[in-house]
Structure 1
Amino acid sequence: MHAFIPLLVLIVNVGAVPTPFDEDVNVTTFAPPCNITACQLPNCLCSSTSIPGNIPVNNTPQFVLLTFDDAITIGNINYYREAMKNRLNPNNCTISATFFISHEYTDYSLVHELHSNGHDISLHSITHEPLTTYWKDATIDTLNREFADQKLLVSKFANIPTADLKGIRMPFLQMAGNNQFEMLKANNFVYDLSWTTRQYIKPGLWPYTMEYLSIQECLIPPCPTNSYSNVWVIPMINWEDMSGTVCSMVDACVHIPNTSDELLDWMKREFNKQYTGNRAPLGFYVHAAWFVAVADEIRFDAYKKFLNYLGTLKDVFIVSGSQVIEWVKNPKTVAQMTAAPITCHKTNPLNCNPKACRLIKEGIIDRWMTSCATECPHSYPWLGNPLGDK
């Protein structure tokens, strides 16, 4: 049995579907409806269920996004190591996952390891404040302190270039409207992976840019209404549990099978909604704590079996958020993706000497933090003090 830190999971309200951008805004601030003639790849793509590049569906790669939220710790790293070990995509490149990390309790030497192995390290805020109203009402300044400063924090303590920290996910998937996307744009983030959809499950909604008004419904308002160039949205396409209830995170699905093989069948069912549809990217969004929520770890067993199954399909690629965006910018058929010569995603040699530091958080609370920094910070890095130098 693996140790773990309990993590909070949002279960999305399943009432009536709100209209898009269900918030009190001045309509004159709305981005215009999409101009398909003006909005062209690689830097602009209208929100749509159409396959980018007009590639025929049977020649379109099916992308699968494996993501994990919250702290990276010695209690969950072995799940990630075991699940990802020795797995290759059809182009013989190693698979990649995306980790949306929150700061508290994170071991940054392990974050460095994941990045060195070619996974996306993305941001989930410094504080992971549990009150959703904090995120709903967050100002641009608050979001800068939570995410822009976290980029500096992760870069320093995990020894990762800031340019490699490309995506964010809002805590509890609580959107912050235009302020959220103003922050993304101002700080050169590439993509957001927080915005849920149940209207566009089949056919699924493909990633798109925010120059023009999105067709995506707003399930957890406020959602953005203004125009933001070069900022991508990867829609979180909902799953459905065995009762038909939608769930944005897989570990928020309540009515699910309780045996490994039945869980596998359910995972295949949800996968096939995209695979037999328009092949919009399928997200398997989860927290590691879900794997140990039952005594015999049948969920982790089913998860590995699901990855084994995906590995038998020659047009399915398990990739990171940034890799999906790169493909959408320059769409290629399955044959083109697997034709020699192949350029695989970047991996890096380990360059971290882990250092454990006992620190004071906000003047009173002891915190241990392991990082790649050569010296311990003056205090525990936190909001308004991301480098711990105050």
Structure 2
Amino acid sequence: MGLTQLALLTCVVIATVTCSSQTNCHQGGNCRLPQCSCSSYSSPLPVKDTPQIIFYGFDDALNVRMARHFRKLFPSDRRNPNNCPISMSLYIQHAYTDYSLVSEFYKKGMEIGVHSVTHTNIDTEAKLADEAERQKNNLARLGSVPKDEIVGWRSPNLKTAGDKQPPTLKRLGYTYDISLTYTVGKRHQKKPWPFTLDYGYPYSCQIQPCPGRTASHKGFWEVPIVSLMDYKGAYPCAYVDGCYNSPTTEDDAFQFLWKNFEDNYQTRTPLGFNMHAAWFERPHNLAAMDRFIKEMTKKDDVYIVSVQKMLEWMKNPIKLSDLHNLESWGCKSA
């Protein structure tokens, strides 16, 4: 997504109109894990038993410059409390991508998702089907990523095909979408958790069109792009690199990351850093993120995992003390 578009989207505080939950969805009744999860503003477990999940979703081409930043921030010796390496999600477009790097980061345990072929607005069923299928094939054929492990989609410019998006992606083997934005206008505001679209999309549509409130897309997950508050606490930012007030020093950048972490840590709502790695081209931003991740890996209740792994936990919420038993969060060698 371009910075100009992000600024237009996020520089004005919008009063977000939402439904508190999917009206007809009753967790444990007509909606049961792992197939169905109602929308919610709270953890499925008591806060004390809930891991603080942090996920990184990076967009666009994977090239030599971006890979340099990823190697610095996500080395194999940075580990979660279960002694497995931290991980991230890469939503990759075709243009300008070095597919040898796709293979490298897949082998390192990172999630590889899709961000289209052409990086143009994909707002029709036909275009979505074409680009979602072709780029999945590109990543499998050129990047040596198993097709059945490519399950996440992010729309270019966060423009979706509305109610056509979930069934089209599901037919192509995708299990989740991470394209719909949710604006938080102030600190300490309630934030939504990931959920399935069995009972529609209950939140305000920030970028038209969105799936409808009454349409049912059974078992298909939506991971909302929940906005952060900028380092001054003044305006929301859908993307880390889309803030109207952009930090100009390492300390400002670190405080931006830390304060957003503090807001989520109170409720253990997953904290998503949705962004472009070009943000790290400014050395103070890279230094701040490096420092932030170091601090996070010191905590025994914080896990930095891919979006795919986060959803595996959502399907089977396991207490923090028992997370070593969650096979999908394990690693071959620790």
Question: What letter matches 1:50 in structure 2?
Answer: S
Contact 1:44 1:230 (C-alpha < 8 Å) held by counterparts: yes
Q: Show the counterpart of 1:74.
A: 64
1:26-69 CA-partner distances (Å, limit 9, x unpaired): xxxxx9732431101111011111212xx110120000011211
Shift, 1:139, TM fit: 2.1
Q: Paired residue for 2:25, among 30, 34, 51?
A: 34
How many residues in Structure 1 have an aligned counterpart in Structure 2? 320
TM-score normalised to structure 2 length: 0.90
- Residue 100 of structure 2: aligned partner: 109
Cα deviation code 1:129-186 (max 9, x no counterpart): 2xxxx43xx2211101111221112111111110010101111112220121121121
* Distance 1:313-1:79 versus aligned 2 partners, 3 A rule: same
Equivalent residue, structure 1, for 2:157: 172
Who is 2:171 aligned against? 186
Give the aligned partner of residue 2 of structure 2: 8
Counterpart in the other structure of 1:317: 303
- SS of 1:76 mapped into structure 2: helix
Aligned partner of 2:35 in structure 1 is 43
Match of 2:312 among 323, 326, 331: 326
Shift of residue 243, structure 1, vs aligned partner: 5.0
How far residue 215 of structure 1 moved from its aligned partner, in angstroms, is: 2.4
Name the aligned partner's letter for residue 232 of structure 1.
W
8 Å CA contact 2:35, 2:315 repeated in 1: yes
What residue is the counterpart of 1:233 in the other structure? Answer: 222
Distance 2:73 2:321 in 1: 27
- Write the letter of the residue equivalent to 1:185: K
Residues 346 and 227 of structure 1: CA distance in aligned 2, closer, same or farther (over 3 Å): farther
Q: 2:17·2:203 contact (CA, 8 Å) conserved in 1? A: no
Match of 2:206? Answer: 219
1:166 counterpart letter in structure 2: V
Q: Calculate percent identity across the aligned residue pairs.
A: 34
- Contact in 2 for aligned 1:263/1:299 (Cα 8 Å): yes
Match of 1:379 in 2: none
Describe the shift of the 1:192–1:307 C-alpha distance in structure 2 as closer, same or farther (beyond 3 A).
same
Q: Note if 1:203 corresponds to 2:190.
A: yes
Cα deviations by residue, 1:264-287 (Å, 9 ceiling, x for unpaired): 1221101111101x2111011221
Between structure 1 and structure 2, the one with the greater Rg is 1
1:88 aligns with 2:79: yes
The alpha carbon displacement at 1:345 in A equals 4.2
Of 256, 261, 264 in structure 2, the residue corresponding to residue 274 of structure 1 is 264
- In the TM superposition, 1:277-356 aligns within 5 A as 278-292=267-281, 294=282, 297-338=283-324, 344-345=329-330
Q: Give the RMSD, CA atoms, in angstroms.
A: 2.2
Gaps of 5+ in 1: 1-6, 22-30, 349-390
Deviations along 1:215-240, one digit per CA (max 9) or x if unpaired, are 22211111102211121011111101
Q: Specify the alignment match of 1:150 in structure 2.
A: 135
Counterpart residue type for residue 137 of structure 2: L
Note if contact 1:17-1:219 (Cα within 8 Å) is conserved in structure 2: no
- For the structure 1 residues 40 and 314, does the alpha-carbon distance in structure 2 shift closer, same or farther, using more than 3 Å as the test? same
Tell me how far apart the structure 1 counterparts of residues 328 and 197 of structure 2 sit (CA, whole Å): 29
Distance 1:57 1:19, change over 3 A: closer
* d(CA) in 1 for partners of 2:26, 2:66: 45
The one of 50, 72, 86 equivalent to 1:60 is 50
Could you tell me whether the CA contact under 8 Å between 1:67 and 1:97 is conserved in 2?
yes
- Residue 263 to residue 115, structure 1, CA distance change in 2 (3 Å): same
Return the TM-score normalized by structure 1: 0.77
In structure 2, the CA distance between the partners of 1:60 and 1:208, relative to structure 1 (3 Å rule), is: same
User: Contact between 2:81 and 2:301, CA under 8 Å: does it hold in 1?
Assistant: yes
2:211 and 2:170 map into 1 onto residues whose CA distance is 12
* Residues 93 and 117, structure 2, Cα contact 8 Å, conserved in 1: yes
